[in-house]
């Protein structure tokens, strides 16, 4: 009799176990779903102003905060008597189209400082409506270049992939500003092949042939960037060597 009861309950017990497993699997799937990932973006903030292609102002608890997007650098608008850089206005227009008058999510990257030297928050920016990564979207459109400051950031590989795609498709500044790019240096050791670049934060950094970002670094003389023949010359002029 005890054996008969045990056998009669086996199908029911099996069904209960299967149901429990199904619920657990469903929970795991939901946790890893895009919707769950989007919910981790936190509160959204109203965009009060678009300064240019990589800087916006948002209102956080009644306070206006300038936000500098991580991982992208767009051409500079006219300032200090210098004219607009190539594609600067197009980059700002693209940013406005994405976020002006809307709400956005801000996401910090622990590998980067909380603020830059100008007091701007350093954040990834996502549109509240479609949860689009604004920086990556602009790079993919060719509105700006991937930008690594000091050390790698979380989404660097995705940003670099977006840049490769934009460049391959000749989008945005890769098409409009081709004539402003410095010619590729020759292998002749007598040429001046060291690139003296100025970051968006104003830091002077030089890149030597063979370094990770050498080929993609563009020299724009109108913003004070220049070529150097030796590292000693670059250091004497106030530039420091790129870390990668």
pLDDT in tens, 131-187: 999 999 999 999 999 988 767 799 999 999 999 999 999 999 999 986 544 333 332
Backbone angles phi, psi at 58, to 5 degrees: -120, 160
Query: What span, in angstroms and rounded, lies between the C-alpha atoms of 159 and 164?
Result: 9
Q: What is the pLDDT of residue 143?
A: 96
Of 61 and 10, the structure prediction assigns the larger pLDDT to 61
Residue entry with tokens 């092949």: 193
Query: What span, in angstroms and rounded, lies between the C-alpha atoms of 216 and 96?
Result: 26
CA-to-CA dists, residue 208 to 185, 188, 196, 211, 217, angstroms: 11, 14, 9, 6, 10
pLDDT 10s digits, 157-172: 999 999 999 999 999 9
CA-to-CA dists, residue 235 to 29, 202, 225, angstroms: 54, 16, 14
Mean pLDDT of the chain: 82
Query: What span, in angstroms and rounded, lies between the C-alpha atoms of 41 and 157?
Result: 20
Q: What is the pLDDT of residue 81?
A: 80
pTM, two decimal places? 0.62
Of 190 and 126, the structure prediction assigns the larger pLDDT to 126
Q: What is the pLDDT of residue 155?
A: 94
Q: Of the given ranges (38-42, 72-76, 211-215, 231-235), which has the lowest mean pLDDT?
A: 38-42
Q: Is the pLDDT of residue 39 over 90?
A: no
Q: What are the residues whose beta carbons fall under 8 Å from the beta carbon of 178, sequence distance 6 or more? A: none
pLDDT band at 17 (very low <50, low <70, confident <90, very high): low
Q: What is the pLDDT of residue 108?
A: 96
Contact 133, 67 (CB under 8 A): no
pLDDT 10s digits, 219-232: 888 778 888 888 88
Q: Where are the alpha helices (DSSP H) in the chain?
A: 2-31, 34-39, 88-99, 134-140, 156-168, 173-176, 231-236
Q: Of the given ranges (7-16, 112-121, 222-231), which has the lowest mean pLDDT?
A: 7-16
pLDDT band at 21 (very low <50, low <70, confident <90, very high): low
Backbone angles phi, psi at 243, to 5 degrees: -80, -20
Q: CA 203, 209, 214 angle in degrees (round to 5)? A: 50
pLDDT 10s digits, 64-88: 999 999 999 999 999 878 899 999 9
Of 53 and 179, the structure prediction assigns the larger pLDDT to 53
Distance between alpha carbon 226 and the CA centroid of its chain, in Å? 25
Which active-site residues does the annotation give?
A: 68, 76, 120
Span 230-235, average pLDDT = 85
Contact 217, 207 (CB under 8 A): yes
Domains parsed from the chain with CATH numbers: 44-176 (2.40.50.90), 181-241 (no CATH)
Contact 182, 217 (CB under 8 A): no
Query: How buried is 184 (Cβ within 10 angstroms: 0-12 exposed, 13-18 middle, 19+ buried)?
Result: exposed
């Amino acid at each position: 009799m005890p054996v008969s009861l045990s056998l009669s309950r086996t199908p029911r017990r099996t069904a209960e176990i299967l149901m429990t497993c199904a619920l657990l699997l469903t929970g795991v799937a939901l946790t890893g779903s895009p919707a769950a990932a989007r919910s981790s973006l936190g509160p959204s903030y109203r965009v009060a102003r678009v300064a240019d292609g990589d800087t916006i102002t948002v209102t956080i608890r009644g306070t206006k905060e300038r936000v500098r997007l991580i991982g992208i650098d767009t051409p500079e608008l006219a300032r200090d008597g210098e004219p607009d850089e190539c594609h600067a206005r197009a980059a700002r227009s693209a940013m406005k189209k994405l976020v002006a008058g809307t709400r956005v999510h801000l996401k910090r990257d622990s590998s980067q400082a909380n603020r830059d030297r100008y007091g701007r928050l350093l954040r990834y920016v996502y549109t509240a409506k479609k949860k689009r990564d604004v920086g990556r979207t602009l790079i993919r459109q060719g509105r700006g270049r991937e930008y690594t400051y000091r050390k790698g950031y979380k989404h660097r590989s995705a940003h670099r992939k977006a840049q490769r795609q934009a460049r391959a498709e000749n989008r945005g500044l890769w098409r409009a500003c081709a004539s402003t790019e410095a010619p590729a240096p020759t292998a002749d050791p007598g040429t001046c092949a060291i690139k003296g670049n100025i970051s968006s934060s104003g830091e002077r950094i030089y890149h030597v042939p063979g370094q990770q970002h050498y080929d993609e670094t563009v020299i724009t003389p109108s913003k004070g960037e220049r070529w150097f023949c030796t590292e000693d010359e670059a250091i004497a002029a106030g530039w420091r060597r790129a870390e990668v």
